[in-house]
Amino acid sequence: MGIQREIEECRFKATLDPINPSRIFVWDGNYLVRDFDFIIQNNELLILDTDVIINELVRKDPTKALELSEGSIAQEIAKLVGSDRNKYVKLSFNITQLGISNISGINRILSLNPYVVPASELKGFIRTAILNHILQRINDSERQRVFNEVGSKLQGISRGLKDLKDVAQPIEMLVKARINLVVGRRILSYFYDSLNRLRISDTDGYERVNREFTEIYVVKSNGELIGVNYVIAWSGSSLVYDIAIQKPRQYPSHYSEVKRVDSEITCDVMKTALKEFGKYLVESEIEKVRRSKGAFNKYRLQGYLDYLTGLRDSNYCSDDCACVRIGMFTGFRSKTVRVSEDVEKVRESVMTIVYGHHWDDDTLKLARIRDGKGQEQYIGVGWARLCLK
């Protein structure tokens, strides 16, 4: 099948943009370190072009550059920035606008993915939405069978996070088909994944999007602060992707199962699945905010609740558009399908053991920002609109 020419079942120009004032953050796995990757001068946070700085220090005096202490490097960097800010500074943020009082506590910043939201991140979200749609549409007995298998796999976890990779297998099998290939006297089997037909290009507009320095607060429902993260987040302007679903021109007669699973995943299914999943995420977050009594008053969450009910009740995410929640600090619900209450209980128990602390869906991840009038706001991270046209 792999050698046959394929055609596009559909192609969309997909536009993704943050739903203001929410911020989007996809981590690239690295940290920016103070006095090396960034400095703070006169209440400005300056993100440095470290490659250019290192090259300049080595060019001026290779021997001295190797012998510089941590304090001396910071001094040399400050001198270079003072001599030619445009050359050595990539981004700058006025942190007084955020009202940060503990500037000395900003020692590292989570680094934004260079592609802002890479195609792989968006594809993962769409894949989850489609799997969720298919799972909710199968008959009750089949869905219960899947949930039973997921529960059994969860209960079998004993060695930590690496054992979690197979938990979703019963759900993923809903879009897979077994293929047997005869090679000489042997029969080789593998599973064909229909969702591999989903192709997404990386966006070419990532350099031009608006970025903002943001504090992310992780708080319990009772208002207790668990931690604060500093990030450079995506705050505005659009990313554009090409999205296509491909299919073979024809199916060999012995590929009936492949044809069946392919028929389950169409362009209309993708659009419907995204709308359904987005609505589920919005409603789940509304419920979480409402039950977070302690955090509600402490972090003035009425504005966030109004924002969420607006997403649910308005036409903002309608027609060819869906509300999505993407990136880091968005909670496990945005990355997993909707499961039964029994599976949720088992998952909570197992993950508590794996992580060594109570694991649940009661924490809120809130970006502390300032609105257009300079008023402080706390709002959930990751809300965006995805339009397919």
Contact by Cβ (8 Å): 260, 37: no
CA distances to 16, 126, 311 from 323, in Å? 10, 12, 8
Instruction: Give me the pLDDT at residue 64, please.
Output: 63
Contact by Cβ (8 Å): 42, 92: no
Contact by Cβ (8 Å): 27, 387: no
Instruction: Give me the pLDDT at residue 301, please.
Output: 96
List pLDDT tens digits, range 215-274.
Answer: 999 999 999 999 999 999 999 899 999 999 998 888 888 889 999 999 999 999 999 999
Instruction: Give me the pLDDT at residue 373, please.
Output: 74
Tokens representing 81? 């920035």
Domain residue spans of the chain: 6-34+107-388
What is the distance in angstroms between the CA of the first residue and the CA of the last residue of the chain?
30
How long, in residues, is the chain? 389
Taking the C-alpha atoms of residue 147 and residue 339, their distance in angstroms, rounded to an integer, is: 7
Per the DSSP assignment, residues forming a β-bridge with 7 are 247
Tokens representing 339? 């499961």
Who's near 71: CB < 8 A, 6+ residues apart?
none
Instruction: Give me the pLDDT at residue 242, please.
Output: 95
Instruction: Give me the pLDDT at residue 316, please.
Output: 85
Taking the C-alpha atoms of residue 330 and residue 349, their distance in angstroms, rounded to an integer, is: 21
Q: Are strands 176-183 and 225-236 parallel, antiparallel or unpaired?
A: unpaired
Instruction: Give me the pLDDT at residue 311, please.
Output: 96
Could you say which DSSP state residue 105 is in? G
Instruction: Give me the pLDDT at residue 4, please.
Output: 43
Up-side HSE of residue 70: CA atoms within 13 Å toward CB? Answer: 4
Give the global pTM. Answer: 0.91
CA distances to 15, 234, 275 from 387, in Å? 5, 18, 10
Taking the C-alpha atoms of residue 311 and residue 110, their distance in angstroms, rounded to an integer, is: 28
Q: Which residues of the chain have pLDDT under 50?
A: 1-4
Q: Where are the alpha helices (DSSP H) in the chain?
A: 50-60, 62-67, 70-83, 85-88, 119-137, 140-155, 169-172, 256-264, 267-291, 293-298, 302-313, 341-355
Per the DSSP assignment, residues forming a β-bridge with 178 are 191
Taking the C-alpha atoms of residue 173 and residue 138, their distance in angstroms, rounded to an integer, is: 13
